[in-house]
Amino acid sequence: MTDSTGLPQPTTALPHEAYLTALASLDQVGPARLRWLLSYGSPELVWQLLRAGKVCDPPAQLAVKAEQLNKWVAEANLLNPQELWNKCCALGVGVLALGSAGYPPSLALDLDPPVVLFHLGNPDLISAPSVAIVGTRRATGYGLRVAEELGAGLAQAGVMVVSGLALGIDAAAHAGSLSVGPSGAAVAAVVGAGLDAPCPVRNRKLAQKVAAAGVIFSEVPPYVQAAPWRFPVRNRILAALADVVVVVESAGAGGSMHTVKEALARDIPIMSVPGPIDSRASEGTNRLLSDGAEPCLGVDDILMALGLSNIVRGSPNKRKLEAPLEQRPAPNEAGQRALAAIGWRPVSVEHLGLRSGLEFSQLASTLSWLETHGWIQRTGGWIERCARGD
């Protein structure tokens, strides 16, 4: 039996969510295969049929080979749904089946709703409006900063930020959103791995905070080994949960672009953060802009797209975007030379020395000055120019 939030209660009679979990835990079972399996009847019935080897003739488009079917039969005879269910209970992972009471309405109406949804945290916090902030794992300092600012700004405005708990932009957006504290909106994450280990180790603390202040969803049962194909599949849930998708930084191809495709299929507006045209990390976002995506120049633009701001673009009473008031002291001649040589792309000290033509001691003191005054920042051996001071 489950209560309204879908948190499992250990009982003697197994709920049908337990059988759903067991079915979803089978090797290489994704949403499409799970849906086909369920066409045989209730999860419990399918489980029994599978154990008896009576499930056959998969549709051709699912590409299920005979060996795969045999493997499932073997697995079904080995796996104990009760055990799986107990494991879910122990982790505190909730299970929501499509059509059950607590299932998020925005997903229920989706083109391709997940048949079963696992969650950590409180799924009732899912509420419109929500914005997906996505982007590359290999973000530049600029992208990380923007993602964090957007995350914080949206949370302040009461907008839920949805992201994927990956390194880079995802983590920065979550961190920004959480930085507002309890006064801000809830946070949501959709991950492509089982909820026993929802994210890279480096983000584990962040994931705990997200679960505490919001909810983490996954379509994958806990303790199922992570597989690369599950990540693109989860992007559709990410898109489906959002009212607007914002891409902060992305290369020409990648997970973010996949989310954009899913959003397009669902008629969800896409916004893109412009970046330097010679930055690899902004290749995809700039391409989106030239393809007609809305530019995102700040939190206000997103709020406007959500209809939460009555300021019309171009109208005289439009609230100004954060004024690019320069508060940093102007660099001297050598400093300007160095800044010009850095450009808007991270550069090594060695190249900087060559390009600027500055002598070693001058280079050292110039860089030190620029760093102290917030004109540049360093990551590893790289030097990066900062557009704005803190």
Partner 1 sequence: MLAEVPSATLLGVEGHRVLVEVHVGQGLPGFTVVGLPDASCREARDRVRAAILSSKLKWPDTRITVNLAPTHVRKVGSGLDLAIAIALLGASKQLKAEAFRGLAFFGELGLNGTLRPILGVLPLVDALHGGRVVVPVDNLDEARLVRKDALGVSSLSQLVSVLTNEEAWPNPPLQEHEIAEGGDSCDLAEVQGHPVARRALEVAATGGHHVLMVGPPGSGKTMLAERLPSLLPNLDARGAMDVSRVHSAAGLLRMRNGLLRRPPFRSPHHTASLVALIGGGSTLLRPGEVSLASGGVLFLDELGEFPAAHLDALRQPLESGIIRVARANTNVTLPARFLLVAATNPCPCGIGQWGECRCTPGQIARYGRRLSSPLLDRFDIRLAVDPPEPAMVFASQRSGESSSEVRSRVELARLRASERGVTSNRELRGEALEKFAPISEQGQKLLRSRLESGSLSMRGAQRTRAVALTLRDLEGTGGPITTDDLEGALLLRGEEQQIGVVA
CA atoms within 13 Å, Cβ hemisphere of 285: 28
Give Cβ neighbours of residue 165 (< 8 Å, ≥ 6 apart): 171, 174, 189, 191, 198, 199, 203, 206, 207, 210, 216
Candidate ranges 18-26, 63-71, 125-133, 373-381; the one touching partner 1 (CB under 8 A): 373-381
Distances 38 to 46, 52, 122, 192, 351 between C-alpha atoms, Å? 7, 16, 27, 22, 60
Among 202, 307, 314, 333, indicate the residue that binds partner 1 (CB under 8 A): 202
| Residue 117 vs 347, nearer CB to partner 1 | 347
Q: Is the dihedral of CA 65, 68, 72, 78 positive or negative?
A: positive
Torsion angle, alpha carbons of 356, 344, 328, 373, to 10: -60
Among 28, 77, 225, 368, indicate the residue that binds partner 1 (CB under 8 A): 368
Establish if 353 lies at the interface with partner 1 (CB under 8 A): yes
The span from the CA of 308 to the CA of 289, in Å, is: 22
From 85, 81, 82, 118, select the one nearest 100 (Cα to Cα). Answer: 118
Establish if 167 lies at the interface with partner 1 (CB under 8 A): yes
Q: How far is the CB of 200 from partner 1 (least distance, A)?
A: 6
Is 176 in contact with 291 (CB distance < 8 Å)?
no
Establish if 350 lies at the interface with partner 1 (CB under 8 A): yes
Per-residue mark of binding to partner 1, 217-256 (x: CB under 8 A): ----------------------------------x-----
Candidate ranges 93-101, 145-153, 284-292, 360-368; the one touching partner 1 (CB under 8 A): 360-368
Among 40, 231, 344, 382, indicate the residue that binds partner 1 (CB under 8 A): 382
- Indicate the residue type of 116: V
Establish if 181 lies at the interface with partner 1 (CB under 8 A): no
Establish if 365 lies at the interface with partner 1 (CB under 8 A): yes
| Residue 38 vs 341, nearer CB to partner 1 | 341
Candidate ranges 48-56, 307-315, 330-338, 339-347; the one touching partner 1 (CB under 8 A): 339-347
Establish if 287 lies at the interface with partner 1 (CB under 8 A): no
Among 90, 297, 311, 354, indicate the residue that binds partner 1 (CB under 8 A): 354
| Residue 113 vs 143, nearer CB to partner 1 | 143
**Strand ranges, E, within the chain:** 94-97, 116-121, 130-134, 160-163, 187-191, 214-218, 244-247, 270-272, 294-295, 347-348, 376-379, 382-385
* Crossing angle of the two packed helices 333-342 and 349-356, in degrees rounded to 10: 120
Establish if 349 lies at the interface with partner 1 (CB under 8 A): yes
Binding residues for partner 1 (CB under 8 A) = 137-138, 140, 167, 200, 202, 251, 279-281, 345-351, 353-355, 359-361, 363-365, 367-368, 372, 378-382
